[in-house]
Amino acid sequence: MELLRKWLGHPEDIYNLLRFKMGGYRAVMPRIDQDSLGRGLRTCYRYLNQTSRSFAAVIQALDGELRHAVCIFYLVLRALDTIEDDMTISLDVKVPMLHEFHSYLYQPEWKYMESKEKDRQVLEDFPTISMEFRNLSKVYQDVISDVCHKMGVGMAEFLEKKVDSQHEWDRYCHYVAGLVGIGLSRLFSASELEEPIVGEDTKLANSMGLFLQKTNIIRDYLEDQLDGREFWPREVWSRYTKKLSDLAKPENIDMAVQCLNELITNALHHVPDVLTYLSRLKNQTVFNFCAIPQVMAIATLAACYNNKQVFRGVVKIRKGQAVTLMMDATNIQAVKAIMYQYVEEIYQKIPSTDPSSNKTQQVIASIRAMSLPGSPMASRHHYSPIYLSCAMLLAALSWQYLSTISKATEEYVQAGEN
């Protein structure tokens, strides 16, 4: 019944969960005809579903040949990331592999059979992936190879190097996520579904990736600590504690939350770039592909801001909330309204004693200026009494059904959480 009580407080979640489950998902994640694909591409899409059903869904919604290019781009970077993550590979083997990985795209027989990682199939059957890479138009090949090369070099740089300064935090996030944003943007322009400026403006594309990566790093503090990983910049956390791990101690919770708020404030500085980037997109499938993760990220930051739970467990947005965001974020005015809603939520939680309060207020002011509500979407959560009554009755009748939502759908609405 706890689930029911949560839903009663968010009737729009109930409505959108039902819409999503009963076919609304097709608007944002239509399936492609597998029979129309060759054997190699079918295999690649199978690997895509196995490694991330959420990304598989949004990639399959893209138009035309761009869909295949992004699928291969994802699998190539997944293979590279699998090498980087595999702690059983010694550094004297791993570093040269990361530096040379882009060259393996042009070696038809190259594969790696020694990985112990769960996604090792992308390395063991790399010949299939590299073959489909070579089947892409040269303009796509050049983008994927270039990004793969730069990312491999960056990963090698940070293998034994901790993130110290905020500049290094930006640099690390650039290598692991900003380059993905830049590569995708270049693919969008190469497909001619978007204007050349989308691929040429690397500053905005980089910010798209940094906003997502910083959100994940902030949210995943405790998980990373338990895994022995540290991605919060020393320059920031050292002002609050002597050791990053000490932020999880109950006696340090006030300082921990202040550190958290400073990092969230840092991440919010990317939102204006995100809005400018999204405002340039013309193709609906590209817009959905780009916008959904960004609105998931701002909702996640709003949930994390000034929240002690970040240091005690997992902070996630509600499933119904995620579905609502997915189904609403289909145009720039809607995205601006969503951004406005969540920065207002953060603003209302700013403690007057927080050391970063002035900076947080300043960055929120700049986001407000770009996303002032001026469309029906700005009041999208105002419902009539009749609607509320119907929604509550619907919740009482259907909460058990909705609680058994399929695994595929659940993984998809976590697209912004992975």
The DSSP result for 135-189, as a single string, is HS-HHHHHHHHHHHHHHHHHHHHTSS----SHHHHHHHHIIIIIHHHHHHHHHHH
Q: For residues 191 and 64, is the Cβ–Cβ distance under 8 A?
A: yes
Structure tokens at 410: 């659940």
Active site residue 289: yes
Q: For residues 246 and 215, is the Cβ–Cβ distance under 8 A?
A: no
Active site residue 172: yes
Instruction: Report the pLDDT value the prediction gives residue 227, as an integer from 0 to 100.
Output: 87
CA dist., res. 389 & res. 84, Å (int): 52
Active site residue 20: no
Instruction: Report the pLDDT value the prediction gives residue 10, as an integer from 0 to 100.
Output: 52
Instruction: Report the pLDDT value the prediction gives residue 320, as an integer from 0 to 100.
Output: 87
Choice among 104, 172, 277, 412 that is catalytic:
172
Beta strands in 224-373 (DSSP E): none
CA dist., res. 170 & res. 349, Å (int): 26
Q: For residues 351 and 357, is the Cβ–Cβ distance under 8 A?
A: yes
Active site residue 26: no
pLDDT by position in tens, the chain (length 418): 444 444 445 555 555 545 544 454 555 555 666 667 789 999 999 999 999 876 788 898 999 899 999 999 999 999 999 999 998 999 999 999 999 999 999 999 999 999 999 999 999 999 999 999 999 999 999 999 999 999 999 999 999 888 999 999 999 999 999 999 999 999 999 999 999 999 999 999 999 999 999 999 999 999 999 988 899 999 999 999 999 999 999 999 999 999 999 999 999 999 999 999 999 999 999 999 999 999 999 999 999 999 999 999 989 898 889 899 999 999 999 999 999 999 999 999 999 999 999 999 999 999 999 987 654 444 444 444 444 444 344 434 433 443 433 444 444 444 444 4
Structure tokens at 136: 């892409």
For residue 128, CA distances in Å to 66, 119, 135 come to: 19, 15, 11
Choice among 211, 219, 311, 342 that is catalytic:
219
CA dist., res. 60 & res. 28, Å (int): 10
Choice among 229, 312, 387, 401 that is catalytic:
229
Instruction: Report the pLDDT value the prediction gives residue 416, as an integer from 0 to 100.
Output: 43
CA dist., res. 418 & res. 412, Å (int): 10
Q: How far apart are the first and last CA of the chain?
A: 28
CA dist., res. 282 & res. 287, Å (int): 7
Contacts of 25 (CB under 8 A, 6+ apart): 409, 412
Instruction: Report the pLDDT value the prediction gives residue 414, as an integer from 0 to 100.
Output: 46
- Give the global pTM: 0.84
Instruction: Report the pLDDT value the prediction gives residue 18, as an integer from 0 to 100.
Output: 54
